[in-house]
């Protein structure tokens, strides 16, 4: 191919591209004003999604899932009511040795079910959050206090009812 032909091809391509972009601009619809996303009364962005607080409240309707309910004790515990690591879990309450937690919210998390408890015991009140999961089988409960995740007493065995 002669040198002139080699130079002519890129120039023709550039000319075609210039024409094409002008045609695209002429075919494009006129710019419109952007519309702001409405804000919902609860501060949401107006996308119609259910607010997170409503999701947590809906999750609480059934309380703590049935697979976690029952009596549990530390793996080396006796399951005796006097055992200080024994815990009784129902749909709406968790009873510890010297305190009781009323379920405030339950939500599925990536590593198990998270439970918010309003705690009361020994004349004091406080809030706690626990993550519940079963370890390998339904007879081993990992009950992890979110504030103390490395507590070695997290693993509990199911006690006979």
Return the residue matching tokens 């009511």: 81
Domain for residue 77, yes or no?
yes
Please report the pLDDT score of residue 56 as a whole number.
42
What pLDDT sits at residue 136? 83
Tokens encoding 135: 């370890």
pLDDT value, residue 120: 98
Run of H or E residues at 105? strand 100-109
Residue 36 lies in a domain: no
Q: Answer whether residue 79 is part of any domain.
A: yes
Count how many domains the chain has. 1
Is 11 part of a structural domain of the chain?
no
Instruction: Look up the domain containing 118 and give its range.
Output: 52-158
Q: Tell me whether residue 143 is in a domain.
A: yes
102/63 Cα distance (integer angstroms): 10
Q: Is 151 among the domain residues?
A: yes
Better-scored residue on pLDDT, 46 or 64: 64
* Beta carbons of 115 and 143 less than 8 angstroms apart: no
Selection from 11-20, 38-47, 70-79, 109-118 with the highest mean pLDDT: 70-79
Query: Would you state the structure tokens that stand for residue 142, as one six-digit string?
Result: 């990992």
């Amino acid at each position: 191919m002669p040198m002139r032909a080699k130079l002519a091809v890129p120039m023709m391509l550039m000319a075609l591209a210039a024409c094409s972009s002008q045609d695209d601009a002429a075919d494009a619809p006129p710019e419109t004003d952007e519309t702001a996303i409405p804000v919902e009364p609860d501060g949401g962005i107006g996308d119609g999604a259910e607010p997170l607080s409503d999701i947590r409240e809906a999750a609480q309707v059934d309380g703590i899932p049935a697979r976690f309910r029952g009596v549990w004790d530390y793996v080396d515990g006796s399951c005796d009511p006097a055992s200080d690591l024994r815990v009784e879990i129902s749909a709406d309450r968790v009873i510890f040795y010297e305190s009781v937690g009323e379920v405030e919210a339950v939500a599925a998390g990536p590593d198990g079910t998270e439970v918010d408890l309003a705690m009361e015991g020994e004349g004091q009140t406080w809030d706690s959050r626990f993550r519940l999961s079963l370890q390998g089988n339904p007879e081993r409960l990992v009950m992890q206090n979110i504030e103390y995740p490395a507590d070695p007493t997290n693993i509990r065995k199911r006690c006979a009812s």
